[in-house]
Amino acid sequence: MAKKKKPKSKSALLPDEECRSDWCEVRQSGIHGRGVFATKDIPNEKYIIEYVGEKITKEESDKRGWALFDKAQETGGAAVYIFTLDDDWDLDGDVPENAARLINHSCEPNCEAYIDGHSIWIAAIREIKSGEELYFNYGFDLENYKDHPCRCGTESCVGYIAGEDYWDELQALLEEE
């Protein structure tokens, strides 16, 4: 009997990475590693993909945060996937089924992360064309900002991955140098 052909994946580049949304898929990014790309035109305000993960207490979250910090000290880098849900709970998105964890940062993002009860959704903040990479602003504070250079390449790029609330302070720090 003839061997069945393996079905072609949605993305020829990364066949293993399943994206639990019809609106996007994982591909190689020009900015960093893998990224998530629109597979069709996405209307503004559309909830695109849920950011799933493990719901953890603040105590557990601190423990994991410090372990990541130690890892970063040793290896020079460690990606953080922990989102704040509320005063008591966080969500650790470092699980393979969470393709949304691969969304890169941009200083001119086309998406935002919304907390809806105990769920987190990545939603469009403008119309997005099929094939565009999805981005949200990670909202990092300025602690260790030098460890997070930004390569988003947009006109608004502030050079480092930082939340908009910190941009003025960052500008001042960069001017002092």
Ligand X SMILES: C[S@@+](CC[C@H](N)C(=O)[O-])C[C@H]1O[C@@H](n2cnc3c(N)ncnc32)[C@H](O)[C@@H]1O
Q: How many CB atoms lie within 10 A of CB 128?
A: 24
Q: How far, in Å, are 45, 88, 120 from residue 40 at the CA level?
A: 15, 37, 22
Q: Which is nearer to Zn ion, 64 or 105 (CB)?
A: 105
In the complex, least distance from residue 163 CB atom to ligand X, rounded to whole angstroms:
13
Residue count (the chain) = 177
Q: Does residue 36 contact residue 24 with C-beta atoms inside 8 Å?
A: yes
In the complex, least distance from residue 2 CB atom to ligand X, rounded to whole angstroms:
37
Q: Which is nearer to Zn ion, 78 or 157 (CB)?
A: 157
Residue 113 CA to residue 103 CA, distance in Å, equals 11
Which residues between 65 and 84 bind ligand X (CB under 6 A)? 79, 81
**Given the rule CB under 5 A, which residues bind Zn ion?**
107, 150, 152, 157
Write down the number of H helices and E strands in the chain.
Answer: 2, 10
Q: Which is nearer to ligand X, 49 or 102 (CB)?
A: 102
Residue 131 CA to residue 7 CA, distance in Å, equals 22
**Binding status of residue 139 toward ligand X by CB under 6 A:** no
In the complex, least distance from residue 106 CB atom to Zn ion, rounded to whole angstroms:
6
Where along the sequence are the contacts to ligand X (CB under 6 A)? 29, 31-35, 79, 81, 101-102, 104-106, 150-152, 161
